A and B are shown apart, each in its own frame.
Chain A
C-alpha cells in the first residue's frame, strides 16, 4: 500500500485516452474485442469488490443479465433508443433488485453466499428460458442505440458505442478506485481478515457488505447494459452459472489488488478466447482451467500481485 498519490488514476486516464485514440485506428474486430472486454470487466469488478471482503459470488451473472435485459427490453418493447437512457434503466433495475436481495445476502458468508447467489441467478435464467415473449432461449435483438438524439450510422455508430464503453469504464474505475481507499472500502478488506474485530471497532459489517453488494450489482448491471448495446442481442445465457463462473475466473486470474487488474485480466481472456477458438477450439477451456490451477497453487494473489509487488519495489 502506498500512502502518497495513487498512480492508478494517471494510468487509468492514460489508458482511457489511449484506447479512445487507438479505437480510431483499430480494425473492427479488434475494437469490438476491446469493447466487449471493457464491458465484461465491469461485471468482473463487481465480483472483485466482493472478493475483497472474502465473498465469492457465483451468481454475478444475475445483475449482468438484468442490466442487459433491462436495456434490451426498454429498446425492444418501449422504443427507447438513447444509449444513456438504456444504460440508466439497466443500472437502476440492477440496483433496485440488489437493494432487495442485499438485505438477505449480507447475512451470508462463504459457501452459502456462493450457493445463494448461484440460486438467484439460476432463478432468473429459469424464468427467461421459459419467457416466450422475450424469445425464450434465443433472446431477442436490441435495436441500435442513439446518442442524445443523434443516430450514427455504420462505422461511426460502432465507434460511438466503443467510445461510450471506454468513457463509462473509465468513470466507473475512477469511482471504485476512490471507493476502495475510503473507509467503507478498507472495511471490506478488514471484514475478510476478521469480521468480529470490525464489529468491535464500531463498524457495521452487515451495512458495509450491503452497500458493497449494491455497488457491485450496479457496476455489473452497467456492464450487462453495455454488452447488450455492443452486441445488439441479449439471451438468457447472460444469467447462466457458467457466465458467472467466468467472471470469478477473471477476478481470480487478475487479482483483487487494484481496479486496473480486472481490465487487464478481462482483455487477456478475450484475446486468449479469440485466438484459441481459431487455433485450438477443443483445448481452450483446458488452457483456462490449467492456468487457473497453476494460479491457485503458485500465485494466489493473481497476476496483479506480480505487477503490484514490482511497483512497490520501485
Chain B
C-alpha cells in the first residue's frame, strides 16, 4: 500500500518536473521545426542563475518568502538574454536548412554554452536548498512529502494551462498555430514568421530556464546537469509527439509514472524503462502518441 502511494506521488512529482522541462522543447519544435539540443544548456543556465541569486539573497538574510520570486525572475532573465542571443546570433543565419542540420547546429550551441557556464560559475557545485527546506513537509497517506515537490505539480498544471490559453485564446497564439500548421501559407497571408520565431524561441528558452530554476533548490547545481536533462526531455516529447503540447503532458505522465514504478519495484530498470518506452513509441507510432502524421515528402 505504501509502495503504491509512493509510486503515485513520486510519479506525479516526476511527471510534473518532466513536463516543465520539456514543454519548451516541444513548443520550439512545433513552431520552428528545430529539435533544440541547447535546451539542456538553457535548463542548466536557469539552474545556475537561480542557485546563484537565491544563495546571495538568503546570505543577506532578507525575508524568505520573496526569495521564491527569484526563481521565475532568474528564468525570465536567462530566457530573454540567452534566448535572444541564440536566436538572433546563430539560428537566424541557419533557417531553411535541413531539420537534421539544425540538430547539429543546436548541438554546437549546446557545447559552447556548457563552457560558458563553466567560465561564469566555475566547476564547484552551487546549492540553493533554502526554498526547498522552508516549506516543510506534509503527510500524504502516511508518507511525508516536501511541500515544494507538491507545489511543483501545481506549477506544472499552471504552466500547462497558461501555454494552452496562450496558444488558443490569444492573438499571438493563434498566429503560432497558423505557423505550426502551414508555414508557407502563413507567410503568404502576411504573418511575420521571422518575428514569431524569435518570440517562440525566447518563450521556449524561458520555459527551459524555468525548469532549471525550479529544480535548482532540489539538486546540487554542477556542470553536466543539462546533458542528462536533454535526453529525458527528448524521450518525453518523442513519446507524446514532437511539437504537441498536449503530447508533452501525456509523455511526461507516462515517463514519470513508469520511472516511479521502476524505482520502487525494479530499480535496475530505472533508466532502461524510459528509453524502452521511447523506442517502442517510435516503432509503433513514429510521430508520437498525440501528433498527427505528416504526409511524407518523398
- The reply to whether B267 and A130 contact each other, CB–CB distance below 8 Å, is yes
11 extra A-B contacts, CB within 8 A, seeds A116-B282, A282-B123: A108-B282, A114-B100, A119-B282, A122-B274, A123-B279, A282-B119, A283-B119, A289-B108, A292-B111, A293-B108, A296-B97
User: How many residues in A have their beta carbons less than 8 Å from beta carbons of B?
Assistant: 43
In the assembled complex, how far is the CB of residue B107 from the closest CB belonging to chain A, in whole angstroms?
6
In the assembled complex, how far is the CB of residue B228 from the closest CB belonging to chain A, in whole angstroms?
10
Is A115 in contact with chain B by the CB < 8 A criterion?
yes
The docked-state distance in angstroms from the alpha carbon of A252 to that of B105 is: 11
Q: With A129-B271, A196-B298, A285-B115 given, is the CB distance from A245 to B282 under 8 Å?
A: no
Q: Which residues of A contact B95 (CB under 8 A)?
A: none
Is B77 in contact with chain A by the CB < 8 A criterion?
no
In the assembled complex, how far is the CB of residue A314 from the closest CB belonging to chain B, in whole angstroms?
31
Q: With A282-B118, A285-B115 given, is the CB distance from A290 to B103 under 8 Å?
A: no
Is B143 in contact with chain A by the CB < 8 A criterion?
no
The docked-state distance in angstroms from the alpha carbon of A283 to that of B115 is: 6
- The reply to whether A126 and B111 contact each other, CB–CB distance below 8 Å, is no
The docked-state distance in angstroms from the alpha carbon of A118 to that of B234 is: 10
Q: Which residues of A contact B154 (CB under 8 A)?
A: none
- The reply to whether A111 and B111 contact each other, CB–CB distance below 8 Å, is no
Q: Which residues of A contact B234 (CB under 8 A)?
A: 115, 118
User: A268-291: which residues lie under 8 A (CB-CB) from chain B?
Assistant: 282-286, 288-290
B274 touches which of A56, A126, A130, A252 (Cβ 8 Å)? A126
- The reply to whether B286 and A122 contact each other, CB–CB distance below 8 Å, is no
Nearest B residue to A107 by beta-carbon distance? B286
Is A249 in contact with chain B by the CB < 8 A criterion?
yes
Q: With A119-B238, A283-B119, A297-B93 given, is the CB distance from A126 to B103 under 8 Å?
A: no
The docked-state distance in angstroms from the alpha carbon of A259 to that of B143 is: 60
Q: Dominant SS at the A interface?
A: helix
The docked-state distance in angstroms from the alpha carbon of A130 to that of B276 is: 15
Q: With A118-B231, A289-B110, A292-B108 given, is the CB distance from A284 to B271 under 8 Å?
A: no
User: A92-137: which residues lie under 8 A (CB-CB) from chain B?
Assistant: 104, 108-112, 114-116, 118-120, 122-123, 125-127, 129-131
Residues of B within 8 A of A (CB): 35, 90, 93-94, 97-101, 103-105, 107-112, 114-116, 118-119, 123, 227, 231, 234-235, 238, 242, 267-276, 278-279, 282-283, 286, 298
- The reply to whether B115 and A122 contact each other, CB–CB distance below 8 Å, is no
Nearest A residue to B89 by beta-carbon distance? A293
- The reply to whether A122 and B275 contact each other, CB–CB distance below 8 Å, is yes
In the assembled complex, how far is the CB of residue A262 from the closest CB belonging to chain B, in whole angstroms?
16
In the assembled complex, how far is the CB of residue A63 from the closest CB belonging to chain B, in whole angstroms?
16
In the assembled complex, how far is the CB of residue B78 from the closest CB belonging to chain A, in whole angstroms?
18
Q: Which residues of B contact A292 (CB under 8 A)?
A: 104, 107-108, 111
The docked-state distance in angstroms from the alpha carbon of A283 to that of B98 is: 28
- The reply to whether A290 and B279 contact each other, CB–CB distance below 8 Å, is no
Is A189 in contact with chain B by the CB < 8 A criterion?
no
- The reply to whether A123 and B275 contact each other, CB–CB distance below 8 Å, is yes
30 contacts between A and B (CB under 8 A): A56-B104, A109-B298, A111-B35, A111-B99, A114-B103, A115-B238, A115-B282, A116-B279, A118-B234, A119-B235, A119-B275, A122-B231, A122-B275, A122-B278, A123-B275, A126-B275, A127-B271, A129-B271, A130-B271, A195-B298, A245-B107, A282-B118, A285-B112, A289-B108, A289-B112, A289-B115, A292-B111, A293-B105, A296-B101, A296-B108
